[in-house]
């Protein structure tokens, strides 16, 4: 991993900012495997301000590399970590932050729900 500054917080799971700073939930210290895989994931992100292909591919391919069962356990045991799935949230380092992948996910989910409801009303 590069020389990234790590800041610990009580909410969310992990974020990387354009200056290379990584914010991690302080409770990840109790989950060393999950913490290591998240650090590796965040270190692979670029320092670009906006989402680019490299960052998007990192987010999409990391789903295989992260232990999702451990992630769900972590989120259940530490409810403030659920902030991570919000498309817009506040961080110590970046202030108001938005996650393009989360926005894309929630947008796609909304479209699917609207289509399903529309089909349900038509039947």
State residue 3's pLDDT score: 66
State residue 35's pLDDT score: 94
Q: How many CA atoms lie within 13 A of 108 on its CB side?
A: 6
State residue 79's pLDDT score: 93
State residue 58's pLDDT score: 79
Q: Is residue 37 a contact partner of residue 19, using CB atoms and an 8 Å limit?
A: no
State residue 10's pLDDT score: 92
> How far is residue 40's CA from residue 104's CA, in Å, rounded to a whole number?
23
State residue 19's pLDDT score: 86
CA 71 to chain centre: 11
Q: What pTM does this model have?
A: 0.73
State residue 63's pLDDT score: 67
Q: Is residue 14 a contact partner of residue 92, using CB atoms and an 8 Å limit?
A: no
Token reading at 24 = 């991690």
State residue 31's pLDDT score: 93
Tokens 């590399």 -> residue: 65
DSSP code of 102?
H
With a cut of 50, list the residues of the chain below it in pLDDT: 1
State residue 77's pLDDT score: 96
> How far is residue 51's CA from residue 15's CA, in Å, rounded to a whole number?
13
Query: To which H or E segment does residue 76 belong?
Result: helix 68-77
């Amino acid at each position: 991993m590069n020389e990234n500054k790590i800041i610990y917080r009580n909410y969310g799971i992990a974020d990387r900012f354009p200056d290379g700073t990584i914010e991690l939930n302080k409770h990840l210290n109790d989950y060393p495997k999950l913490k290591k895989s998240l650090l590796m994931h965040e270190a692979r992100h670029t320092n670009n301000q906006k989402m680019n292909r490299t960052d998007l591919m990192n987010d999409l391919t990391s789903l295989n590399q992260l232990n999702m069962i451990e992630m769900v356990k972590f989120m259940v045991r530490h409810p403030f970590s659920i902030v991570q799935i919000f498309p817009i949230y506040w961080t110590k380092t970046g202030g108001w932050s938005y996650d393009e992948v989360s926005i894309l996910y929630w947008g796609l989910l909304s479209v699917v729900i609207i289509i399903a409801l529309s089909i349900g009303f038509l039947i």
